[in-house]
Amino acid sequence: MFTYLFTFQDVDYIQHNNEYLLKAFKDCLIECGYNIVSGITETFDVKKTPEALFLEDKAITSVFILSESHAVLHTFPESGVLTVDIFECNTKLVKSELFLKIFSKAIGADHYQEDIVDRI
């Protein structure tokens, strides 16, 4: 079992609102071959820092239950950060590598960090 942790920096929350980011997340999971069983999204107030006064969107946390395990999206509009955690029960890296390539392009993220945790 592996956990893939992706941190995207400098996300443009003006160009990409929560609706767009959530759709991109779901579409990328499907395109990469993940099987979505169900999902839920919650919104949270954004901490209004001087840099975030222009933001209208709330932060979101979205969880998709996958037949392979689950995937989580967290947005942090006040700091331009977005994180994705994908938990997989198999040992193939192909889906997560493809997800990183497709999703980073979809959200225009040139700066990201990828960490892989072997859970067993």
* pLDDT at residue 17 in the model: 87
Q: Which one has a higher pLDDT value, 78 or 47?
A: 78
- Secondary structure of 12-80 in HEC code, one letter for each residue: CCCCCCHHHHHHHHHHHHHHCCCCEEEEEEEEECCCCCHHHCCCCCCEEEEEEEECCEEEEEEEECCCC
Residue 87 confidence (pLDDT) above 60: yes
What are the structural domains, with CATH classification, of the chain?
2-57+72-114 (3.60.90.10)
- pTM for the structure as a whole: 0.87
